Amino acid sequence: MSRDGVKLIGFIIGREHEMPDEVMRIINEQAGMRAELVKLGGTFLDDVVEYDVIIDRMSHEIPYYRTYVKFAAVNGCYIINDPFVWANDTKFLAAAVLRKLDVKTPRTMVLPNKDIAADTVPDSFRNLVYPMNWQAIIDYIGSPAIFKDVRSGGRRFAHRVNNVDELIHRYDESGTRTMILQQVIESDHHYHCLVIGGEQTLLLPYAFDEARYVASDRTLSDSLVQRMTDMACQLSRVYGYDINMSEFVLDGDEIYLINATNPSPLIAHDLMTQEQFDWACAEIAALAVRRANEAKPMELPVHLTGL
């Protein structure tokens, strides 16, 4: 691995450029380190993986990228974040994990797919109850509710629905996506906690009227800050994520964790203050360099550990 004796750190990205550009700039200023975009044009089984570390920001959207980072991991590359965990991570699974950890979370339901991207016949659906009792679903979750994609990472297909008719309308639009319906915790106090390397944390107060994070919230007590950051760190360790964002809502002094995991949180100037952006980029760069220097292989799934 490495190239000409230099540790090699690759980025897999989509449309974003600010954070990757800044992280690569920081890494490339360090001796013995090289950061660049990974270039892929199909992968042969005999291909050599020259990257020591890959920071994966896009494989949750591009199936071929997900296949490649798993291949790279099996061949000794350290992937940020673990593709084997991320591939199975969903918002509904996270909600179930939170219940087991005695963390308050909104009422949540996962719904059958509207459409299936496979050849099926009526007998394929003998386990499904049809038609669904939409009113009972709304009665359980409450209204308004959030109707959103179950997959973790990014902010896909999400809508607020206020009644059965709106829910059915959005459900009919959902296609082959697997969707959840989640209780809305009405509050003006939303916080996202960015965790880097399982330990370094940045609590980000979110202002809906500005659609971005604000610098600080002086009304927030030290005990609430500690409880949210502790929970976010615990979740990062439970999932083994090197980069993760957890999303909290405060209802008085009650903390609700509404999104436990986001392994590819958006880090950009139009969302963050300059200080927040600089902190995140510096910590991600330091993490990548640390993982490259450790030369520590990823922990593969149990059934692959004998390789």
Q: What is the pLDDT along the chain (307 residues), one digit of tens a residue?
A: 767 789 999 999 999 999 999 999 999 999 999 999 999 999 999 999 999 999 999 999 899 999 999 999 999 999 999 999 998 899 999 999 888 888 999 999 999 999 887 777 777 788 888 888 999 999 999 999 999 999 866 566 789 999 999 999 999 999 999 999 999 998 889 999 999 999 999 999 999 889 999 998 778 899 999 999 999 999 999 999 999 999 999 988 899 999 999 999 999 999 999 999 999 999 999 999 999 999 777 777 755 655 5
* 132/140 Cα distance (integer angstroms): 13
Looking at residue 199, what is its pLDDT? 92
Looking at residue 297, what is its pLDDT? 74
Q: Assess contact for 10 and 37: CB atoms under 8 A.
A: yes
CATH topology of domain 107-183: Dna Ligase; domain 1 (3.30.1490)
* 94/262 Cα distance (integer angstroms): 10
Q: Which CATH number fits domain 190-262: 3.40.50.2300, 1.20.120.1200, 3.40.50.10540, 3.30.470.20?
A: 3.30.470.20
* 45/305 Cα distance (integer angstroms): 19
- Predicted TM-score of the model (pTM): 0.90
Domain boundaries, the chain: 7-87+292-304, 107-183, 190-262
How far is residue 262 CA from its own chain's centroid?
2
Looking at residue 303, what is its pLDDT? 58
In the sheet that holds 33-37, the strands lie side by side as 33-37, 7-12, 53-56, 78-80
Looking at residue 21, what is its pLDDT? 98
* 68/45 Cα distance (integer angstroms): 10
Q: Which CATH number fits domain 7-87+292-304: 3.40.50.20, 3.30.565.10, 1.10.3720.10, 3.90.1150.180?
A: 3.40.50.20
Looking at residue 155, what is its pLDDT? 62
Looking at residue 69, what is its pLDDT? 97
